[in-house]
Amino acid sequence: MPRPVSNPPNPWSSEHVEWLGAPPDAKLEIFEEQARSIVVENDSPDIPFRWSLNPYRGCYHGCIYCYARPGHEYLGFGAGSDFERKLVVKVNAAALLEARFARRSWIGEPLVFSGVTDPYQPLEANYGLTRACLEVCLAHRNPVQVITKGALVRRDAELLAALEAEAGATVTISIPFIDDALARKIEPWASAPSRRLQAFAALSEAGVPAGVSLGPVIPGLNDEQIPEILEAAADAGARWAFMLLVRLPGPVRPVFEERLSSLVPLRAGKVLHAIEDMRGGRRNDARFGARMRGQGPRWAVIEAVFEAHRRRLGLGVGPEALHEGRDRRFRRPSAQRSLFED
């Protein structure tokens, strides 16, 4: 069970404060746990990867649209402010990954750092769990893909470059907004888009392949920014781009609707109506194949605009192709340990 920390670390007192932005006023509660597992298998046909790793539960960034909020309810917490301020730290993440790599069933497939939380949220500045897990991957030459909104990823540019040389490493940075002020409203404690673009430059200079995700597209709020986002990302060194339509499953919908109406009251109605236009009259579509993309004329226009600019800028469609065709160089941690694992 997660154990509450009476005096949680303050990432804004760390050497990485320049990548974290201004500290918030809201109370933060940290729970440490000895997790039982760290690698999760994904079987959704909408997700282009099989294995993922999340060193944290919940996410400090507080993005009002985050589809991962319902997972916090399994811990007995809420999907609203609890998801952002009651955070769980898997302190044994690196040891669990080492043990997972020792199993004979693990064959060195790409491991995605993300999925239901950001691996470079502010707590990473103190705990360093993402970095520790990346070091395990480097030691055993396991390829990785990182997805983040955190400019803190710059800290690990050299480590990721070494991983790219040894086994393969890519970073996708999510930039749904180009305007720092609007992003601060919708993604209140994530790194500003301008800082994320600086992270692109640092990764590219280090030799780490990086791309951009327009995740999510929120019609009526950021779809007009698509060309500018792609242009800025390409200028900073992005090599691929993809986009996803906003998802509002279960308890995410009331959080999104309430905060949208509070933060951008003059645009909220327009946004919700546009989402309904792209979801067949609904505000969410949970069907496989439909969850990540829309339907109808407006979505077709958005897709056409995105594709035209992606092609014009010479951006690929995703990082997966960079791992294809590479020799699998995975090195198991311990032959002795593997005798006791499946």
Query: d(Cα 86, Cα 8) in Å, to the nearest integer?
Result: 11
Any idea where the domains of the chain sit in the sequence?
29-316
Residue 318 confidence (pLDDT): 83
**Span between the terminal Cα atoms of the chain, in Å:** 25
Q: Which residues of 25-51 are buried (b: 16+ CB within 10 A; e: fewer)?
A: eeebebbbeebeebbeeeeeeeeebeb
Q: Following DSSP, what letter does each residue of 23-81 receive, concatenated? A: PPSS--EEEEE--S--EEE---TTSS-SEEE-SEES-TT--TT-TTGGGGGGGT--SSH
Query: d(Cα 130, Cα 110) in Å, to the nearest integer?
Result: 15
Residues 6 or more apart from 188 whose CB is under 8 A from it?
24, 61, 62, 63
Residue 337 confidence (pLDDT): 46
Global pTM value = 0.89
Residue 10 confidence (pLDDT): 62
29: its two tokens: 């509660």
Name the superfamily (CATH) of residues 29-316: Aldolase class I (3.20.20.70)
Residue 340 confidence (pLDDT): 42
Query: d(Cα 174, Cα 210) in Å, to the nearest integer?
Result: 11
Residue 338 confidence (pLDDT): 43
Residues 272 and 73 sit within 8 Å (Cβ to Cβ): no
Query: d(Cα 267, Cα 333) in Å, to the nearest integer?
Result: 54
Return the closest-CA partner of residue 323 out of 174, 206, 137, 170.
170
- As averages over each run of 10 residues, the pLDDT of the chain (342 residues) reads 61 64 73 95 80 96 94 90 94 97 94 92 95 97 96 97 96 97 96 96 95 96 98 96 94 95 96 96 88 92 98 91 73 61 43
